[in-house]
């Protein structure tokens, strides 16, 4: 039961991250829940960011550098 709950949680956070990145104009094509950590008994579920092109890395860097992004205050 706990494993199902963790799988749902990691799927949800992966979706939230994908949507937030898309709003910033960034697409990580390999973004997904990490199947190894999900199946492991002692490792918490991880989100695999995967690989991306240099262009996507630049967009991600720019999105993270913008002070208005992520400012919740």
What is the DSSP code (8-state) at residue 72? -
Q: Tokens standing for 46?
A: 């991880």
52, 28 Cβ separation under 8 angstroms: yes
Residue bearing tokens 């697409």: 27
Spatial distance between the Cα atoms of 17 and 40, rounded to a whole number of angstroms: 23
Q: Give the pLDDT of residue 69.
A: 52
Q: What is the pTM of this model?
A: 0.78
pLDDT in tens, the chain (73 residues): 567 888 899 999 999 999 999 998 899 999 999 988 888 878 888 999 999 999 999 999 998 887 765 555 4
31, 47 Cβ separation under 8 angstroms: yes
The number of C-alpha atoms within 13 Å of 67 and in the hemisphere containing its C-beta is 1
Q: Give the pLDDT of residue 71.
A: 54
């Amino acid at each position: 039961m706990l494993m199902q709950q963790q799988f749902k949680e990691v799927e949800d956070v992966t979706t939230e991250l994908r949507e937030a990145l898309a709003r910033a104009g960034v697409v990580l094509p390999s973004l997904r829940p990490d199947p190894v950590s999900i199946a492991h008994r002692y490792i918490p579920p991880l989100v695999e960011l995967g690989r991306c092109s240099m262009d996507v890395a630049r967009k991600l860097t720019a999105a993270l550098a913008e002070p208005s992004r992520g400012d919740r205050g």
